[in-house]
Amino acid sequence: MAGEGNIRAVVIGESNVDLILRSSRPVEPRPGREIEVEDAEIVIGSSSAIFACQMARLGATVNFVSRVGNDALGTFFLDSMRRKGVETGLVRISSDVPTGITVSLSSPAERALVTYPGTIAATTAADVPDSVFAAGAHLHLASYFLQKGLRKSFPDILSRAKKAGMTTSFDSGCDPEENWQGFEEVIPHVDVLLLNEVEAANVPESLKPRVPVFVRKLGAQGAEMVFKGAKFSSPAPRMDKVVDTTGAGDSFDAAFVYAWLSGMKPDELLPFACAAGTLSTRGKGGTATQGTVREIVELLGKGDA
């Protein structure tokens, strides 16, 4: 595998915290019914933030661009990101909109999410000054449908990044309203497109060949990729015990982009990313047990044994 190099990335995305409620068995919320869970914890939330933390964990320099509320959750979020090694100087603090929060009901097999958007929906293009595009060599955008104040500017932001000489990646995230409209305008500006099965099914077939690297995440089954017309696939390594799947796909995204920027060979990219996604499920929350490069390589080595 290629060396780490000096990777500098910018992540523009949503800031929120997760209240994770964990159950050892599948649970189904129903009106008028109370559910007991075994554990609860407040952690860093948002796909974008989990991506940024994994990139930093792998050794990249990461600048995070977002907005938080002037409140306890905003302070918690920023302090937590800094402890993870993510630069937060480009995060703006809002005095009139609270920090967003997501309640995650998580079991080993699946999770259900309920989100109060707060600053997630309030972030706009005004929060993305020109200085952003000098802060790194790669730009990642995510959570298109949740960032209602910013999403119309996604194509312009990516275009500005490309003009500044940056490479780009994008993970749309799921559409809570299931309309799947608008994000097709983003795709022509993307070098690496990272989607799960549901998201990928909503990309117009005519646009797929326009993406240099198109990744389809298959959860515990691994991932597939079309890399400049060539097809690749990889299974996901197995963990003896899965504690929490929160953010595994975001850790996958970050590891894939890191490996791609590091110059790894196409057939190395998916195994590296799948291993990172698997390692992130060892502990509670999306960032607590994200893997290092060494841990990822060791896990892949065990699979070859």
Q: What is the pLDDT of residues 276-289, one digit of tens each?
A: 999 999 988 789 99
Percent of the chain scored above 70 by pLDDT?
A: 97
User: Which residues on adjacent β-strands are paired with residue 225?
Assistant: 215, 232
Is residue 1 in a domain? no
Looking at the 3D structure of the chain, how many domains does it have? 1
Q: How far apart are the first and last CA of the chain?
A: 18
Is residue 34 in a domain? no
Range of the domain at 43: 8-26+39-304
Is residue 3 in a domain? no
Contacts of 165 (CB under 8 A, 6+ apart): 137
Return the CATH number at 100. 3.40.1190.20
Q: For helices 266-279 and 248-262, give the axis angle rounded to 10 degrees.
A: 150
Is residue 2 in a domain? no
pLDDT reported for residue 2: 41
pLDDT digit string, tens, across residues 193-230: 999 999 999 988 888 888 999 999 999 999 999 999 99
Least confident interval from 157-171, 237-251, 271-285 = 237-251
pLDDT reported for residue 1: 43
d(CA 24, CA 132): 42
d(CA 20, CA 50): 14
Give the best-scoring range by mean pLDDT among 35-39, 95-99, 183-187: 95-99
Is 129:53 a contact under the CB 8 Å cutoff?
A: no
Is 116:101 a contact under the CB 8 Å cutoff?
A: yes
Is residue 155 in a domain? yes
d(CA 3, CA 26): 42
Is residue 103 in a domain? yes
Is residue 213 in a domain? yes
Beta-strand pair 87-94/100-106: unpaired
pLDDT reported for residue 5: 52
